[in-house]
Structure 1
Amino acid sequence: MTSQTIIAARGLNHWFGHGEARKQVLFDIDLTLARGSFTVLMGPSGSGKTTVLTLLGCLRGVQDGSVQAMGQELHGAGDAQLTKLRQRMGFIFQSHNLHESLSALQNVIMGVQVRPGVDDALARRAGAHALGLVGLSDRLDYLPANLSGGHKQRVAVARVLVGNPAMVLADEPTAALDKDSAADVVDLLKRLGTQRGTTTLLVTHDPRILDRADSILTLEDGKIVSCTGGRTGSRA
């Protein structure tokens, strides 16, 4: 694993269930994500895309094979190690998961406010800066109910930005957005790679964003069947 590699999976297999109900859902997944790259993972429903995302994002344990994330092996890693790695990652989902009773700014800073050494004033400055980066400087005090779907997803992106993650994992973040809003969200994520060296892995069914990807992986029946582009390595 080189200094330019942030994720490397080799021979990754995964099962769900137990006994006779046990079913293999991933088969010998090999992939490498380069620092600063923007990778799209595509495939039909049930192909294993979200399972790959949760394994690489330290949201579930690696059962078989090797996954190295930011230089650390995940197979056999304990809860404390996985938690520390997750703190260096940002997660965006189809549902923006905003707290309806909190303003856009409050939603963005609620995670950083609990960090040691971060007072309210610093958190608010960082949150306002992040919302400015996504074009919402004039909506800091808006409640989610008063924001469009595209603006809510921008708040979710700002919430990731404020933590300055090494890697962003996004699961269908554009599915509920119109074409222009979807393009805005993807362009914001791509700028993270250019400006901060952040690696993004985005799971999607959305063909509208494929031309913005550095690389596209296609998953079928738990196997990588194709890879296009040059900044992500994979081997089915």
Structure 2
Amino acid sequence: MDSKHPIAARNLNHWFGTGEARKQALFDINLEVELGSLTVLVGPSGSGKTTLLTLLGCLREVQDGSVDLLGHELHGASGALLTALRRRLGFVFQAHNLHNSLTARQNVVMGLQVHGNLPAEQADAAASHLLGLVGLGDRLDYLPANLSGGQKQRVAVARALVGNPDIIFADEPTAALDRVTSANVVALIKRLGRERGTTTVMVTHDNRILDQADRIVTLEEGRIVKSIDANA
């Protein structure tokens, strides 16, 4: 990996199933993601967007081809290396995956636990700060049952960001958010990219946020058919 590209996929192929049921999901994917950028993956359902995201984020085993993530090859990587790399990543999924028995702040604090034993006061302060940035400063001690769907998703975004990850992988993070909140969440992610060098890869069907992307990559039937540099 060169210093400009924390993610690089080369000749990446992927299959699901075995035997006669085996079906190829990705075909010869070549993609470089620039440091600090917001790269958005778009395309119809079933085009391979989420499969690609999970391969780049070491959530799925690389079968064929190469993925270089933060200077480490994922094809054939050990479990220990994959675990270490995941600690440097933040994940946001359409399903917010919050713990129902924990408050918003406690859910965000959980995002810090993979980084070691941070003093409780410091962890609470960091979680409160991030929740304030996503517009939930007045909901710190609310349980998920008392939050709307959009508010739960903003808690999930704060949890992904609180550990100051090198890379954020987001799958439909704005699906449950209104237009203004969607724009604010994506703007926050972009600002972190500028200020901290945080790189983001996002799958979305939300055309409202495409104008904030640095690059828009279109997939169809498991292939990249278009890649547009919005800054060119």
Common fold: TM-score over 0.5? yes
Aligned pairs, number: 232
Equivalent residue, structure 2, for 1:10: 10
Equivalent residue, structure 2, for 1:168: 168
Aligned pairs for 1:38-57 (under 5 A) are: 38-57=38-57
Q: 1:108 to 1:220 in 2, by over 3 A?
A: same
| Structure 2: unaligned runs, 5 residues or longer | none
Work out whether 1:183 is the aligned partner of 2:183: yes
Amino acid at match of 1:142: Y
Using the TM superposition, give the Cα deviation of residue 114 of structure 1 relative to its aligned residue in structure 2, in angstroms. 5.8
Q: 1:111 to 1:186 in 2, by over 3 A?
A: closer
Using the TM superposition, give the Cα deviation of residue 89 of structure 1 relative to its aligned residue in structure 2, in angstroms. 0.5
Equivalent residue, structure 2, for 1:79: 79
Q: 1:72 to 1:231 in 2, by over 3 A?
A: farther
Aligned pairs for 1:58-77 (under 5 A) are: 58-77=58-77
Amino acid at match of 2:228: T
| Structure 1: unaligned runs, 5 residues or longer | none
Aligned pairs for 1:215-226 (under 5 A) are: 215-226=215-226
Aligned pairs for 1:201-220 (under 5 A) are: 201-220=201-220
Using the TM superposition, give the Cα deviation of residue 146 of structure 1 relative to its aligned residue in structure 2, in angstroms. 2.3
Secondary structure, counterpart of 2:6 in structure 1 = strand
Which of structure 1's runs of 4+ aligned residues deviate more than 6 A?
none
State the TM-score, normalized to the length of structure 1: 0.93
Cα distance in 1 between the residues matched to 2:115 and 2:34: 28
State the TM-score, normalized to the length of structure 2: 0.95
Cα distance in 1 between the residues matched to 2:114 and 2:49: 32
Cα distance in 2 between the residues matched to 1:176 and 1:150: 5
Cα distance in 2 between the residues matched to 1:115 and 1:11: 33
Contact 2:216 2:230 in 1 (8 A): no
Contact 1:33 1:231 in 2 (8 A): no
Cα distance in 1 between the residues matched to 2:58 and 2:90: 11
Q: What are the Cα deviations for residues 101-134 of structure 1, in whole angstroms up to 9, with x where unaligned? A: 2111001002324643312222112211222222
Equivalent residue, structure 2, for 1:33: 33
Contact 2:10 2:28 in 1 (8 A): yes
Equivalent residue, structure 2, for 1:94: 94
